[in-house]
Chain A
Amino acid sequence: MTVLESTQELGLADDRAAGPEDTPRLRPRGRGRRRGQGKLPGARIGYVFVLPFFLVFGAFSLYPWLDTAWVSLHDVRLSTYQQQSWVGLANYRELFTSSFFWNAFANTLTIGVISTVPQLVMALGIAHLLNYRLRGRTFFRVAILMPYATSLAAATVIFLELFDSRLGLVNWALHLVHLPEVDWQGSRWPAQVAISTIITWRWTGYNALIYLAGMQSIDADLYDAAAVDGAGKWRQFLHVTLPGLRPTILFTIVVSTIGAAQIFGEPLLYHNGMPDGGTQGQYQTLGLLMYQQGWTNDRLGLASATAWTMFVIILLAVVSNLLVARWRTRGELR
């Protein structure tokens, strides 16, 4: 999916982009033979074309989605899957009164912020630099995408070595400059920072490329006009680049928010593949909690309740992102 398409899908396309009203319709005018019957031959065949998608969507999205809702209202263990007993909202009650849930909720929020905000800011800066006519530009563009192409497991294993409390390179460097060594595994904030570093490392280049694509679609005349008006590079960035990138930025924020709410692989591998998020649960995210409930503890009902709660949280986060964006746009138009 290209950036432009996705921004349109999210209703974020700015005014210059073509609206969805212009979508071509299958309206076979002038084909006399069928016209009299009042039927649109193209319409039916259209359903056939979209059918494969909806079959897959139904089997792998809609059905699991509804079934998860159903399971979340039952006491279910995988081992006794045939014997589900109805418990109503008891799983949700247990979840919302559980310290494990609120711990995971807070961790998801903090890791999400620590990993997303610096990531997007850095991506913007890198994209801006790559937008200049640099020597070896293509090399740099490919290079920044390398972390994204690296396997998550491999990356996490390397970072685990770097952040090893006893033998790691990071603590060795801290020691060199006479700073105290840090327990990158056992302590809450250092561990969350370390995990956020892995996420930032992996996704910065990806977002930078998206920003770069957005920047290249900005009309060069605007920069010339700004230069004529006496704007330097920084002012050009603030007053031409940023406003031009707004839909792209909003898109990356929305996608990153969804990604942050689902952080799973990095903290899982950070504790040797165990979903407890450290011995004190210091980096257990909602995704890990759900996994632990469902697969380690074999309580699928509770895990399903967590899954649905996560879904609602993500929806709320995305909607509030969009509302903020709309409110800002309206404020500027006034």
Chain B
Amino acid sequence: MARPAPTHPLRRTATVVATLSVAALALAGCGSSSGSEANGGAGSGKCGTTDKTTLTVGLFGTFGYKENGLYDAYEKRCPNITIKQDVVEQSADYWTRLKTRLASGSGLDDVQAIEIGFVADVVKNHASQFVNWNDVPQAADLKAEFYPWKWQQASNSSGTTTVGLGTDIGPEAMCYRKDLLEKAGLPSDPTTLAQQWSTWDGFFASAKQYADSTSKQAGSAFLDSPASVFSTAVYQGTTAYAKDDGSPDVESSDGVQNAWKLATEAAADKYTAGLEQFSPAWNKAFAGGAFATLACPTWMMGYIQGQAGDDASGTWDIAPVLPGGATNWGGSWLGVPTKAQHKAAAIAFVEWLSAKQQQVAMWTSKKQGGHFPSNSQAAADPAVSQATNSYFNDAPSGQIFGKIASEMKIPPIGLYDTQIQAAMTKELINVATKGTSPDKAWTDALAAVKQITG
């Protein structure tokens, strides 16, 4: 499946074969969900229950809770609780499964993760099936801790219903290979680059310089993929793929038009290696040094480290800027289904996970995968803001992404952003590698979008 906006680095293995269950096309529609029961509230005590309870947590990709010891910490805090996670590798497969369970009203975990790619759908179509966080007793306190836009993305337009508490966000900067830029005769210190790359014009000037360089590493390109430009620039518009009400609007969106112009320029001028992001070829290219820069949401740092390996440690760095203005890529929430078996315990657990201290731990722990706090108080904590990343040449990652997070512009999100972005970036690959004209690619992309929106 397409994965242009994965919250979490997705490791690809041969297990994709799990998607082969095409025969299940016709789904048995079972009992409908009533959903408007009163929310559980805090239940009894800090753990929500005093009974011996096993909480199931439905996740996708790598959330890192288990790896960073947060389950162990919670089980120590609440000895009557055991946490069991239920992980689907690809967020798209996870979403299909969640939809099936929501439609049938059964099989839901006590906690269900919700990704930015489908949070709008959950808010629009399934809000009554999730605990409304505005109704829990300490709602106002909780709300005050999060970035306002993060809370809003999981809420309806009037703000009365909120389906999940934020986990991480994906403020973006540019990651680059110091050694490759130097070889091509470009500056490589973050301060200079931040100045040059504050606009797309400046960024493309560097791209041209790299492309024209005779000393650059043979066969390497400035950027990984036109998607690095497109998926970033599209959220710099007043709208991206959807109108304010969440209904899809691609053709007349200023964000899409500008991003398309920039990305086709990068593609046609051979500034990119023409790789599909998250493809095996792209993964291999990290180690091979086939490109010098890529758009870098916080979670991409973990991905780069995983693909490029320890040998490349110190060759990478972060330019504290995103050409054209700060935006977000990715992020998730945790929701509690109203039909959860252990609702009160689940609510207590999600509140604990989303609290400042745990979000700080996620960013600062050794095994962190670039989960930047969606809890703004956690982001302001010195442990986060003063954090550096040794893999990225000791870049002050906490300060860089904290600043970008505070400046981000957030256009409305829609029901089909993920699929639309996949269709558009796929056509950009054709421009980069097959010589397709930008106009034909645009027509084809709109036809593919029509298939999605219906």
Contacts and interface: CB of A to CB of B under 8 A. Distances in A.
The finding on whether chains A and B are genuine partners in a shared complex, rather than unrelated, reads: yes
Interface of A: 63-65, 67-68, 71, 75, 78-82, 98-100, 151-154, 157, 160, 164, 166, 186, 264-265, 268-269, 272-276, 279-280, 287, 290-291, 293-300, 302-304, 307
A265 B121 CA distance: 29
Nearest to A99: B447
Interface stretch (B51-59, B64-72, B141-149, B428-436): B428-436
Interface stretch (B20-28, B183-191, B315-323): B20-28
B32 interface: yes
A304 B29 contact: no
Given A160-B280, A279-B430, A68 B26 contact: yes
A81 B29 contact: yes
Contacts of A287: 22
A67 B26 contact: yes
Contacts of A290: 22, 25
Contacts of A295: 1, 19, 92, 96
B25 A157 contact: no
B303 to A, nearest CB: 15
A98 to B, nearest CB: 8
B17 A78 contact: no
B92 A71 contact: no
Interface in B397-454: 416, 419, 426-427, 429-430, 433-434, 447, 451-452, 454
Contacts of B73: none
B14 interface: yes
Chain B residues touching A, range: 35 or more
Contact of B16 (A269, A280, A298, A303): A269
A177 B25 CA distance: 47
Contacts of A186: 433-434
A264 B17 contact: no
A303 B25 contact: yes
A268 B433 CA distance: 21
23 contacts: A65-B26, A67-B28, A71-B26, A78-B27, A78-B96, A79-B121, A79-B126, A80-B125, A81-B27, A81-B103, A151-B14, A152-B17, A186-B433, A265-B17, A268-B16, A269-B17, A274-B1, A280-B430, A293-B451, A295-B92, A296-B419, A299-B454, A304-B26
A285 to B, nearest CB: 11
B16 A100 contact: no
Contacts of A160: 280
- SS class, residues of chain A in contact with chain B: helix
Interface of B: 1-2, 12, 14-17, 19-20, 22-23, 25-29, 32, 90, 92, 96, 99-100, 102-103, 121, 125-126, 276, 278-281, 416, 419, 426-427, 429-430, 433-434, 447, 451-452, 454
A300 B34 CA distance: 23
A1 B257 CA distance: 58
Contact of B279 (A80, A81, A272): A272
A279 B434 contact: yes
Contacts of B96: 78, 295
The 10 closest A-B pairs by CB, nearest first: A273-B16, A153-B17, A81-B103, A64-B26, A68-B26, A153-B14, A67-B26, A78-B99, A297-B452, A279-B429
